Amino acid sequence: MVNPLKSIVTDHQKGPVITGIKLTPVFVPFHSHVREIMEASGGLGMAIPAEEPWPGVDAVICELTSEDGSSGLGEALVWLPETGVSMAQVIDAVQCCLGKYVLGQSPFYVELIRHRMDINIARSEVAKGLLDMACYDLMGRITGRSASDFMGGRVLEKVPLAALIPLADPEKMVELAVFFHDEGYTSFRLKLGRSIDDDVKTMALMRKTLGPEIRIRVDYNQAYNRAATAIRAIKAIEPYGLDYAEQPVRNGDYLGMAAVQKRVDAPLMAHEDCFSLTDIATLIELQAIGVVGLNPERPGGVTAALRALDYAEMRGLGAVLHSQPLGIASAMLIHLAAARHYQLGHATELFGQVMIEDDLITEPIDYSGGSAGIPEGPGWGITLDRDALDKYATGPAAVIR
């Protein structure tokens, strides 16, 4: 019996196929002043109850090569309190399982690659997203076109950004917000959750200092074990105006999120709860969120992100792109935001360029004026800094052919 999927793969292949995968684990430290701010607040700059220090970014850099000599880049950040997988696990997932559905395939066949990965390997969204991201860069490299062209085409030339304000004393948080406001930022994500009284002081001082026009989103990082406490916390700061409140209860507590959303006016956004399209759909249908949050590698790269944005728009929800990545994933989010601006409704949050001592790319992205310029050139429009890659690599690269 003829396998119809095999027939599709072999008989209708178009364009150069992928011939190699290279995966490099890296660790890039935070700037010393960022670590000082985080340590002053207890070590993490947020309310998430993790015990291990967070001194910098662990990531896997992916390079896909095609038979015409083109190369596409992807990047996946991992942090065990959130992603639940390590760099080694991501690399192993690609080496032992996922790579076979990419090698020999055209990068333009992202839907076929996605389908084969999904039916053969459960979950592993971070690893799948890493490969999918690199396919979009490779498409651009092969054709000489911007990656945003494969997401619908850019609709603006500068992407508005939000500034991240870590958890600290209210006066320190406002001081940082004033600095970024002077730099051109008009949207802010405040880390809250130390106590309801502190949250109210921070919000009141923020509004008094910066006025009613700025947009504020807050991130609780699972600060509250009980939905009732989360409801009180959000209601206490709603008078100061909220774009949305992120992850007030523990990850996995979908019913808790739904209980909170039904009793507060501010829309909720799930972060530590969102790893797959199924997670997003479940949260939406439970009426547990009012904003969909997307990362570079979650819920499975660009292809899944486009689906999530379309679904959110269909259900009348806004969306936000946010992360603190290195340069590759930052460029990816900028291209995605430029192409799908009308589906978002919230400023994109990129803060790796502020927090991390190196972005591993040769040409800096323009982050002036509280916005991000779209890197010009094929694919993501950026080039991997190989000297920096060698400097920050934590082990030998895995090469799959």
Residues 34 and 135 in one domain: yes
Q: Exposed, middle or buried by CB within 10 Å (0-12, 13-18, 19+), for 191?
A: buried
Residues 206 and 350 in one domain: yes
Q: Exposed, middle or buried by CB within 10 Å (0-12, 13-18, 19+), for 249?
A: buried
Residues 135 and 224 in one domain: no
For 33, the domain range is 4-144+389-400
For the question of whether the overall pTM of this predicted structure is more than 0.85, the answer is yes
Residues 40 and 112 in one domain: yes
Which CATH number covers residue 140? 3.30.390.10
The region of weakest confidence among 18-22, 51-55, 134-138, 148-152 is 51-55
pLDDT top residue among 401 and 274: 401
Residues 121 and 154 in one domain: no
Residues 312 and 173 in one domain: yes
The three-state secondary structure class of 374 is coil
The region of weakest confidence among 10-14, 255-259, 272-276 is 10-14
Whether pLDDT at 367 is above 50: yes
Phi/psi region, residue 123 (left: phi>0; alpha: psi -120 to 50; beta: rest), is left
pLDDT top residue among 5 and 401: 401
Q: Looking at the 3D structure of the chain, how many domains does it have?
A: 2
Residues 174 and 313 in one domain: yes
pLDDT of residue 96: 96
Of 121, 22, 120, 15, the C-alpha closest to 401 is 22
Percentage of the residues of the chain whose pLDDT score is greater than 70 = 96
| Tens-place pLDDT, residues 317-328 | 999 999 999 999
Whether pLDDT at 249 is above 80: yes
Which CATH number covers residue 354? 3.20.20.120
